[in-house]
Amino acid sequence: RSLKAECFETLTVLSKALLDLQVNDLSDQHYGALSCPECKVYHTRAAEAVYPFAVVYQQTGDTTYRSAAVRLTNWLIKQQFPDGRWKETPWEWAGTTADQLLMMACAYPILKPALSPDEQLRWMQSMKQAANYLVKEMSPDYASINYCATTPATLAMTHRLIPDSSYLVKAKQLARWTIAKMDDAGFIQGEAARAHGVKYGVDLGYE
């Protein structure tokens, strides 16, 4: 078996588990969201499942996942603040806007044919607002290095859908900064305890 086949099988299992958590009651204000059985919070970060859902649909043709992805993102858009950010509910942190936008930008080309003209407009406006927020706010002073490493990919993907030179300028700045922080072995320092103004430790997942 190939690595790709093994990964897709795992992705399908995980996506099915998330699909079972989706709110499908049209009368519920959180229609389309994924409910958390542990803390009963509708985490905005859970909406990053839009891309896994879109990939499962693309690979299998199962429209259940396409519909779930559309409902989930329509809910996420309603949670967006006017300045383009999403809070990482139940906390105030908004750096995860980089992750949410990346998943939207990756999923949009797959899902676009299934979106109504109004939905297409709202998705594009939402992505533009989020990208503008990242251009304005994302920096090493604002976030840990993993967000500064993710944001270049996010803005580059968004630029493919919404051409804007400011996205590429910011992406290149953050990408160069991330590379400059790599050690001789190619690793970067991740989130860890801060002591005397310095963060220690490496999260290998960032690599």
The pLDDT score that the predictor gives to residue 191 is 64
Q: What is the tens place of the pLDDT at every residue in 154-178?
A: 999 999 999 999 999 999 999 999 8
- Whether residue 189 is predicted with pLDDT greater than 90 in this model: the reply is no
pTM across the whole model? 0.90
Contact 101, 130 (CB under 8 A): yes
**Bridge partners of 194?**
199
pLDDT, tens digit, 9 for 90 and up, residues 74-99:
999 999 999 999 999 999 999 999 99
- Terminal CA-CA length for the chain: 26
Q: Under a CB-based contact definition with an 8 Å cutoff, are residues 165 and 198 in contact?
A: no
How much is the pLDDT for 172? 97
Put residue 189 in one of left, alpha, beta given phi > 0 → left and psi -120 to 50 → alpha: beta
pLDDT at 48 over 60: yes
- Residue 114: pLDDT over 90: yes
Confidence of residue 140 (pLDDT cuts 50, 70, 90): confident
* pLDDT at 187 (0 to 100): 76
Residue 200 has pLDDT above 90, yes or no: no
